[in-house]
């Protein structure tokens, strides 16, 4: 270092020649130096790669929008790439005018663009009993934030003349081989749910439901039916397999709780996080994400001593309902052991629980809807690891 930094002292080769021409990559790609930041599957998690999960690398995400190519994937029967010219959306059941829409029909209707998070109900599922996986990509990476563009369900339901007196529920059905069907209650459908064809300013990616998916803000991902082909209006819940035997909560008394669809407030520190290493003592920007299925995030507290003392983090604008919220807080690492935690509080006053509070209510053998406070332990050598405390 005494001789100076060679990267400052020497003129690099790229300053002395022509760069690549325009449209060299007609569809832009990330730098080759970012090739480690990819969706990843957890080895051994599922028996087949079609009924599996690819987790989003939250540790490398900035702000509140997930790059489309890094959006998590969860398929029950593999993904499909459907020709939009051949895709249809049918609306039937308790409607005056059963309708079949082409994509062109849908794209003529009034559209909205809204920023929302989508989280799989199984996010953090591996962590119910103990600290099981090493990084935030695996503990929390079934989570993404997007700007969706599409047509509100209220617009479609009015267009089809739904029976306002009798209609209580909607059945949403996907066109893939999984027979993915979920019941949505009509209040939610008429509130802010939409059929989306756009995401982050372009068409949805095939893995995420191209050309059409359901967006049900605040509700667990399984209801966001991808490759959406049918909506049926009915007067009672449909009790499909993916809401009566899957995506149910095993309670401490051995009973299963059904229809717990809405995500309660949750947060996680994304950096520093498990698998990372702090290089030297001194200042660090601690950054993370908070989200809630009810209202918006009101406050995020951060602790560096395992929950003994809490400090209020800065919420970065925009803070939107049912969207990811980015928080940051200053921290000076003194080189000693530390346990970093974040705790989200939403506009309903709900406070994210500790593991012991969650286990008191729900037991430790559940799968879905784990919103406990995440702990990252910083050792004296700077290594950060996933641990469970109270």
Q: What's the per-residue H, E or C state across the chain?
A: CCCCCHHHHCCCHHHCCCCCCCCCCCCCCCCHHHCCCCCECCCCCCCCCCCEEEECCHHHCCCCCCCHHHCCEEECCCCCCCCHHHCEEEEEECECCCEEEEHHHHHHCCCEEEEEEEECCCCCHHHCCCCCCCCHHHHHCCEEEEEEEEEEHHHHHHHCCECCCCCCEEEEEECCCCCCEEEEEHHHHHHCCEEEEEECCEECCHHHCCCCEEECCCECHHHCCCCEEEEEEECCCCCCHHHHCCCCEECCCCCEECCCCECCCEEEEEECCCCCECCCCEEEEEEEEEECCCCCEEEEEEECECCCCCEECEECCCCCCCCCEEEEEEEEECCCCEEEEEEEEECCCCECCCHHHHHHHHCCCCCCCCCCCCEEEECCCCEEEEECCC
Q: Residues 267, 344: contact at Cβ < 8 Å?
A: yes
Nearest distance in Å: CB 117, ligand MTE? 11
Contacts with ligand MTE, 133-172, as mask; x by CB under 6 A: ----------------------------------------
Q: d(Cα 323, Cα 220) in Å, to the nearest integer?
A: 13
Window of 202-210, 259-267, 269-277, 368-376 that interacts with ligand MTE by CB under 6 A? 202-210
Burial status of residue 351 (CB atoms within 10 A of its CB: 0-12, 13-18, 19 or more) = middle
Total interface residues for ligand MTE by CB under 6 A: 21
Window of 28-36, 220-228, 328-336, 382-390 that interacts with ligand MTE by CB under 6 A? 220-228
Nearest distance in Å: CB 290, ligand MTE? 19
Nearest distance in Å: CB 57, ligand MTE? 14
Nearest residue to ligand MTE on Cβ basis: 174
User: Nearer Cβ to ligand MTE, position 68 or 347?
Assistant: 68
Window of 86-94, 174-182, 187-195, 249-257 that interacts with ligand MTE by CB under 6 A? 174-182
Residue 194 interacting with ligand MTE (CB under 6 A): no
Nearest distance in Å: CB 63, ligand MTE? 18
**Prior bond to 47 cis, omega within 30?**
no
User: Nearer Cβ to ligand MTE, position 168 or 246?
Assistant: 246
Residue 331 interacting with ligand MTE (CB under 6 A): no
Window of 67-75, 103-111, 132-140, 157-165 that interacts with ligand MTE by CB under 6 A? 67-75
Contacts with ligand MTE, 71-110, as mask; x by CB under 6 A: xxxxxx----------------------------------
Residue 116 interacting with ligand MTE (CB under 6 A): no
Nearest distance in Å: CB 2, ligand MTE? 51
User: Nearer Cβ to ligand MTE, position 114 or 226?
Assistant: 226
Q: d(Cα 54, Cα 138) in Å, to the nearest integer?
A: 9
Q: Residues 115, 147: contact at Cβ < 8 Å?
A: yes
User: Nearer Cβ to ligand MTE, position 161 or 198?
Assistant: 198
**Binder among 222, 338, 340, 344 for ligand MTE (CB under 6 A):** 222
Q: Which two tokens stand for residue 327?
A: 């928080």
**Binder among 133, 180, 195, 338 for ligand MTE (CB under 6 A):** 180
Please provide the size of the chain in residues.
390
**Binder among 59, 135, 208, 352 for ligand MTE (CB under 6 A):** 208
Could you count the other beta carbons within 10 Å of the beta carbon of residue 356? 12
**Binder among 138, 169, 224, 284 for ligand MTE (CB under 6 A):** 224
Nearest distance in Å: CB 15, ligand MTE? 41
Nearest distance in Å: CB 80, ligand MTE? 9
Residue 243 interacting with ligand MTE (CB under 6 A): no
Nearest distance in Å: CB 334, ligand MTE? 40
Query: Residue numbers of the site for ligand MTE (CB under 6 A)?
Result: 71-76, 118, 120, 174, 176, 178, 180, 207-209, 221-222, 224-227
């Amino acid at each position: 270092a005494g001789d100076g930094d060679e990267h400052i002292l020497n003129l690099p080769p790229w300053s002395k020649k022509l760069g690549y021409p325009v449209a060299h990559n007609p569809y832009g790609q990330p730098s080759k130096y970012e090739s480690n930041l990819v969706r990843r599957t957890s080895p051994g998690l599922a028996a087949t790669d079609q009924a599996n999960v690819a987790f989003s690398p939250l540790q490398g995400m900035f702000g509140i929008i997930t790059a489309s190519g890094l959006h998590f994937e969860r398929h029950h029967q593999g993904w499909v790439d459907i020709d939009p010219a051949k895709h249809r959306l049918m609306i039937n059941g308790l409607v005056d005018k059963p309708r079949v829409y082409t994509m062109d029909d849908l794209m003529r209707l009034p559209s909205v663009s809204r920023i929302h998070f989508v989280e799989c109900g199984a996010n953090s599922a591996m962590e119910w009993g103990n600290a099981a996986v090493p990084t935030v990509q695996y503990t929390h990476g079934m989570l993404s934030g997007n700007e969706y563009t599409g047509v509100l369900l209220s617009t479609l339901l009015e267009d089809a003349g739904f029976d306002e007196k009798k209609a209580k529920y909607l059945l949403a059905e996907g066109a893939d081989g999984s027979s993915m069907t979920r019941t949505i209650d009509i209040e939610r459908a008429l509130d802010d749910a939409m059929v989306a064809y756009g995401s982050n300013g372009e068409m949805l990616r095939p893995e995420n439901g191209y050309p059409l998916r359901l967006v049900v803000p605040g509700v667990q991902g399984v209801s966001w039916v991808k490759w959406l082909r049918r909506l049926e209006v009915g007067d009672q819940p449909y009790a499909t397999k993916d809401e009566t035997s899957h995506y149910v909560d095993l309670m401490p008394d051995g009973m299963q709780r059904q229809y717990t669809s809405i995500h309660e407030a949750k947060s996680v520190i994304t950096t520093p996080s498990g698998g990372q290493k702090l290089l030297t003592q001194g200042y660090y920007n601690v950054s993370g994400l908070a989200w809630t299925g009810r209202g918006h995030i009101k406050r995020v507290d951060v602790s560096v001593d395992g929950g003994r003392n809490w400090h209020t983090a800065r919420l970065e604008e925009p803070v939107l309902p049912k969207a990811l919220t980015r928080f940051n807080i200053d921290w000076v690492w003194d080189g000693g052991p530390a346990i970093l935690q974040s705790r989200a509080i939403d506009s309903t006053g709900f406070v994210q629980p500790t593991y012991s509070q969650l286990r008191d209510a729900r037991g430790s053998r559940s799968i879905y809807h784990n919103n406990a406070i995440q702990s990252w332990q910083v050792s004296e050598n700077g290594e950060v690891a996933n641990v469970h405390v109270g």
